[in-house]
Each structure stands twice: as structure tokens, then as C-alpha cells.
């Protein structure tokens, strides 16, 4: 114990490195055929509604672990378990990145099954991972159109876009065919649209398949501040409405929002 009761009297403590964690990583990486670097967050810390993260970057201590392993091993897999996306910085250069949210008691077994090749990964990202912090937009600005945020409005590619996900094989999208090349614009609505359409399809090696998807034309709606639905209360809550604008729409298909490989044109006509 130190007896000092003031800063001047207090005994000074110094740090002495007993064993270097960085050196241990380097030694383990040199001796391994494949290195798994596992990083992420505790869901109880900086991952809850009441606690904001100080920044979006992959913490530097995690990035340094990956750098050291990469310098000393040829095959390094960056495995991330987190409550949210990270901006990966130079760790984006990792040859393989496997991500999972906090998946419960079977998370560890599930990751091992995928990493060992016993189970093929089929997950898709439900939100884009930014290439830099600016892509996430202003935390306090909910107008995603004005600040060009989210996959619907951002002009630049993300690190990993909405819908991104790899498997152990390659899939090619060949064509988009519309059963109805022209539809009438529906009436304005307060219903907020979601993803147009998707379906998970399992293909055998070399197999091709035609997938039929359908969606309501209201999913093409955009917000119009000048509209007011007939009979709606005269208050600010009910000002504006979602409206499908007449015109030509690109209906595209692909593995993610940044990789829409095929498309077709749908014409929305003025409602008569």
C-alpha cells in the first residue's frame, strides 16, 4: 500500500511487461497453417440503446491483432461477432471476413461449422457496412434522402452493401423478365414500403433455375409532402403521403444492393 495522501506524496507505479500479447500473437501465427482472428463487442457494452459508440471504426486494438497475424501468416480469417457494423479501415483488406451477430448458445458451434466447411454460409446483411464513417450519415438527421444515407440514396459503394453475403460457390444472375411490363400507379398511402422482393434459393453445382417473384407496385412509392389523403385529419401527423410516381422504373436483381447484375424496365402509367 502507498501511504501518500497527496499527489506529491503518492508513490509512482510503473508498468512492466511480463509477457507481450503482440509477441504471443506473432509466435502463434508463425506456427499455424491458418489463423482465425476473432474480434467483436460485448453486447452489454456500447451495443445498447442507452450507450452510443464513440466512433464507427473497428477498435484499433482489434485491427492491430489482425495486422500482426497477417504479417506472420499467409492465411488469416478475420472473424467478427458484433451487435453492429464496423468501418474496418485497413482490415478491409482481409482475404476472408466472417461476421455474425450474437447468436446465442450455438454461436460458437455455428461459426466452427461454417469455418470448417461443414455448413455453407447463406446469410445476407440486413444493413450496409460503410466504407468510411461519413457514409453512415448524421446520427441526428433522419432525412436519409437529404444526406444521401442508406443503400437507397448513397451514390458511392459500401464496403459491404445491404444484402451482401458469400457462399462457397459462385452464383450468376442471367436475366430479369417482367410478367407485366406496365402497371397503373396506385393511390397515395401512409404505408411505408420495404424491400421489393427476395427469395432464398439453394442450387446444386452447375444448376440454373428461374425464380418467380412478385411485389405490390406500392413498394415503389416515395414521400410527397404536398399530398394529403382524402379524409385524413388536418394535423401535421397526417401531412404528406407516399405516392408512386408515373414513369420508368429499373427492376434489378443481384446478390446485394451494390451488385445488381441484371435488370428490366417497368413502366408505371398515370392512374385513370
Tell me the per-residue pLDDT of 72-99, one tens digit each, with 9 for 90 and over. 998 999 999 998 999 999 999 999 999 9
**Beta strand residue intervals within 41-181, DSSP E:** 76-81, 96-100
Selection from 181, 162, 172, 159 nearest residue 201 by Cα: 172
Is residue 188 scored above 70 in pLDDT?
no
In this structure, the number of other CB atoms found within 10 A of the CB of residue 109 comes to: 11
Q: Can you tell me which residue has the cell 448458445?
A: 105
Give percent of the chain above pLDDT 70: 94
Selection from 122, 51, 62, 112 nearest residue 87 by Cα: 62
Is residue 235 scored above 80 in pLDDT?
no
Selection from 167, 175, 188 nearest residue 260 by Cα: 175
pLDDT in tens, 13-69: 888 888 889 999 999 999 999 999 999 998 887 766 777 788 999 999 999 999 999
Q: How do the residues of the chain divide into helix, strand and coil, expressed in percent and rounded to 5?
A: 20, 20, 60
Residue 266 or residue 225, greater confidence: 266
Q: Which one-letter DSSP state was computed for residue 77?
A: E
* Span of 63-67, 186-190, 216-220 with lowest mean pLDDT: 186-190
Burial class (CB in 10 A: 0-12, 13-18, 19+), 76: buried
Residue 5 or residue 207, greater confidence: 207
| Alpha carbon distance 269, 246 (integer Å) | 5
pTM beyond 0.85: the answer is no
pLDDT band at 189 (very low <50, low <70, confident <90, very high): low
Amino acid at each position: 500500500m502507498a501511504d501518500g495522501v497527496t499527489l506529491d506524496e503518492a508513490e509512482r507505479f510503473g508498468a512492466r511487461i511480463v509477457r507481450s500479447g503482440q509477441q504471443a500473437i506473432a509466435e502463434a501465427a508463425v506456427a499455424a497453417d491458418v489463423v482465425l482472428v476473432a474480434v467483436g463487442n460485448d453486447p452489454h457494452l456500447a451495443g445498447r440503446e442507452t450507450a452510443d459508440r464513440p466512433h464507427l471504426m473497428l477498435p484499433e486494438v482489434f485491427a492491430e491483432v489482425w495486422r500482426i497475424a497477417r504479417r506472420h501468416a499467409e492465411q488469416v480469417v478475420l472473424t467478427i461477432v458484433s451487435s453492429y457494423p464496423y468501418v474496418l479501415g485497413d482490415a478491409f483488406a482481409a482475404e476472408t471476413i466472417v461476421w455474425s451477430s450474437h447468436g446465442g448458445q450455438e454461436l460458437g458451434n455455428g461459426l466452427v461449422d461454417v469455418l470448417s466447411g461443414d455448413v455453407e454460409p447463406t446469410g445476407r446483411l440486413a444493413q450496409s457496412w460503410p466504407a468510411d464513417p461519413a457514409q453512415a450519415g448524421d446520427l441526428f438527421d433522419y432525412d436519409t434522402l437529404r444526406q444521401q444515407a442508406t443503400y437507397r440514396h448513397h451514390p458511392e459503394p459500401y464496403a459491404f452493401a445491404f444484402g451482401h453475403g458469400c457462399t462457397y460457390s459462385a452464383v450468376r444472375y442471367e436475366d430479369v423478365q417482367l410478367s407485366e411490363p406496365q402497371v397503373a400507379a396506385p393511390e397515395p398511402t401512409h404505408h411505408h414500403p420495404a424491400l421489393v422482393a427476395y427469395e432464398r434459393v439453394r442450387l446444386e453445382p452447375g444448376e440454373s433455375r428461374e425464380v418467380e417473384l412478385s411485389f405490390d407496385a406500392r413498394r415503389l412509392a416515395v414521400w410527397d409532402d404536398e399530398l394529403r389523403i382524402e379524409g385524413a385529419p388536418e394535423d401535421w401527423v397526417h401531412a404528406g403521403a407516399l405516392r408512386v410516381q408515373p414513369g420508368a422504373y429499373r427492376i434489378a436483381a443481384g446478390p446485394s444492393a451494390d451488385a445488381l447484375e441484371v435488370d428490366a424496365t417497368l413502366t408505371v402509367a398515370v392512374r385513370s
